[in-house]
């Protein structure tokens, strides 16, 4: 039997000719921070990043957002605090976290050794002063690329009205935090408002470098046998695919209202969902609830987004932002 033919020798490229193309350029910039992919792991669904070290490769996603960091540790709400819905989930975790100082001492050193870990620190508080203290602590901590300010907390200094639903409160919160932040500040907006465009403009006018939206929708589920709320906190935040069309609409409206980058989120479970948000005006996207069903969802979506771009002759992923024909 004749031996099988040898594999052909690779042909060296001629002078002046480059090697085979590397594929679409997936890089995006948010307030000067360059990400290798527009796909980011959302706050509250990715721990502090270190927990996912053996699950996925951080250098294959754009960045991740930490759990919300408060001035002091918080235990969160009592159980039950998370339930599944027909197209998503309700959660009322209560912003449980270890506190900013413990994060800096215990988590950040490890993050700095992890390849590709672009860290966005999520910041929250129940007063403006709380948020400022957290940012002050983070300002001198190495290894953080930017801040995401959660504007969906009740302002306890002014009767409990949520910062993100009151234009004046939101303006003061974003403005004060921007003044003291040594890194870019992105404000995460609540969808529970009459006009998301107004809230986006308020953030931009206050000096925010970017905005992210949407956070969860305030919801209620009742057990029809006991006639009691299914969540101990009574109300909870709805996330997942059920909210995606509303979130896409809000991202579109916000992106038309401001010139700063918009990061979109809400029910993204596949690459095509990310494309939809970018066409609506998002520079990048955050993936949250999908990580509960599949811890590798963020990496898979980032990988498949690159494949989608290649299949659709999109040379640079930035070409998608705002490209919808509306």
| CB count in 10 Å sphere of residue 158 | 14
Q: Is 177 part of the annotated catalytic residue set?
A: no
Report helix, strand or coil for 269.
Answer: coil
* Cβ proximity of 87 and 240 under 8 Å: yes
CA 214 to chain centre: 9
- Contacts (Cβ under 8 Å, ≥6 apart) of 198: 167, 257
* Cβ proximity of 56 and 115 under 8 Å: no
Report helix, strand or coil for 286.
Answer: strand
Cα 172 from Cα 208, distance rounded (Å):
11
Q: What are phi and psi of 219, to 5 degrees?
A: -145, 170
Q: Which of 131, 153, 177, 203 is catalytic?
A: 153
- Contacts (Cβ under 8 Å, ≥6 apart) of 87: 240, 241, 242, 267
**How many residues are given for the chain?**
326
Cα 280 from Cα 79, distance rounded (Å):
37
Which residues are designated catalytic? 153
């Amino acid at each position: 039997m004749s031996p099988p033919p040898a594999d052909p020798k690779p042909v060296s490229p001629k002078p002046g000719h480059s090697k085979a193309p590397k594929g679409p350029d997936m890089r995006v910039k948010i307030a000067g921070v360059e990400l290798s992919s527009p796909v980011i792991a959302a706050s509250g669904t990715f721990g502090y990043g270190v927990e996912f070290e053996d699950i996925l490769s951080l250098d294959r996603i754009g960045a991740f957002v930490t759990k919300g960091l408060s001035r002091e540790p918080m235990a969160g709400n009592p159980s039950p605090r998370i339930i599944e819905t027909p197209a998503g989930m309700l959660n009322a975790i209560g912003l449980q976290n270890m506190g900013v100082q413990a994060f800096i001492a215990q988590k950040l050193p490890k993050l700095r050794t992890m390849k590709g870990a672009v860290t966005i620190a999520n910041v929250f508080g129940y007063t403006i002063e709380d948020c400022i203290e957290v940012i002050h602590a983070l300002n001198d901590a190495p290894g953080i690329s930017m801040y995401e300010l959660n504007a969906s907390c009740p302002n306890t200094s002014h009767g409990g009205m949520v910062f993100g639903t009151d234009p004046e409160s939101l303006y003061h919160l974003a403005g004060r935090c921007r003044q003291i932040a040594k890194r870019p500040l992105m404000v995460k907006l609540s969808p529970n408002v009459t006009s998301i465009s107004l809230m986006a403009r308020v953030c931009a006018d206050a000096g925010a470098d970017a905005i992210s939206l949407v956070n969860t929708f305030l919801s209620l589920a009742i057990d029809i046998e006991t006639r009691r709320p299914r969540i101990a906190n009574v109300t909870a935040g709805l996330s997942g695919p059920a909210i995606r069309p509303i979130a896409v609409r809000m991202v579109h409206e916000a992106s038309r209202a401001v010139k700063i980058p918009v990061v979109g989120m809400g029910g993204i479970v596949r690459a095509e969902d990310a494309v939809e948000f970018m066409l609506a005006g998002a520079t990048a996207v955050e993936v949250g609830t999908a990580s509960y069903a599949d811890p590798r969802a963020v990496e898979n979506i980032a990988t498949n987004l690159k494949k989608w771009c290649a299949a659709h002759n999109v040379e640079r992923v930035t070409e998608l932002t705002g490209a919808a024909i509306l």
